Structure 1
Amino acid sequence: MKFIFIYNANSGKLNALLDGVHKLLSPKTYPCSLCALTYDAFSEKKTWKNFREKSNTDLIFYHKDEFEAIFPNVKVEYPSVLKLMDNQLTTILNNEKLNSIQSVEELIEILKNRF
């Protein structure tokens, strides 16, 4: 079993820089709640990094362009968290749920209950 995290952002250094600036200047309009929960403007939050590194579950992270290249026939709204088990993808947290989560600690608690 693997958990796939898909950010509502494209990959690349320029996109990361633009996203960081967007988070700083207008955090309420930033389109990726998963990014906002797990990253500060330019670096991964310590709480999230500790959780991710200590997790016994296989966690895979994609930007939306990377996900679409690997799974071209899978349609999901971004951001999302999916479970991959027996070659089947299941949505664990959709964008609506991710948008309602208030802190990285809350996200971690929800994920712990899903593992």
Structure 2
Amino acid sequence: MTAEHPHLLMVYNADGGVFAMVSDAVHKVLSPDTYPCSLCMITYGAVSMKREWRVYLERLPARVTFHHRDDFAAAWPGARFELPVILRESGGQLSMLVSASELDAVETVEQLSALVDARLAQPQRV
């Protein structure tokens, strides 16, 4: 991808699979304050992606790949990032676009969208 059309990786601090998704949905509803994935809390309802986030991603001039922590570890075995995280991939190298602590501070899809847009407008950090 070119600099105008980056490849972003959205990495959730949750495992993939049906059992994990059901457990996560229950956890988010019953105890949202202790749920460990702020990226999930911002972008998903109990079971599906929020419409505002889906619309944002569809208009975003970037390729987006979604990972859960288990499949991210398998796809990128040497990568060490605190999760959740939004990464930019270029030439097989990953750089942080939005950190876990920044995601923890975001409360809405609109805030996250503005943060991603602002970061994509900056020169790529290596």
- Cα shift at 1:42: 1.0
Alignment of 1:7 with 2:12, yes or no, is yes
Give the share of equivalent positions with the same residue, in percent. Answer: 36
- Cα shift at 1:114: 2.2
Task: In structure 1, give the amino acid aligned to 2:59.
Answer: K
Deviations 1:6-63, CA, capped at 9 Å, x for gaps: 0000000111011000000000100000000000111110100111122221111100
Match in the other structure for 2:92? 87
Match in the other structure for 1:22? 27
Match in the other structure for 1:51? 56
Counterpart of 2:67 (choices 52, 56, 62) is 62
Q: With CA pairs under 8 Å and 6+ residues apart, which has the higher RCO, 1 or 2?
A: 1
- Cα shift at 1:111: 0.8
Partner Cα distance (1:12, 1:53) in 2:
24
Partner Cα distance (1:102, 1:33) in 2:
9
Matched residue SS, 1:108: helix
Please report the TM-score for the alignment, with normalisation by the length of structure 2: 0.88
Unaligned runs of 5+ in 1: none
- 2:98–2:116 CA contact under 8 A, matched in 1: no
CA RMSD across the alignment: 0.9
- Cα shift at 1:92: 1.1
Partner Cα distance (1:84, 1:61) in 2:
13
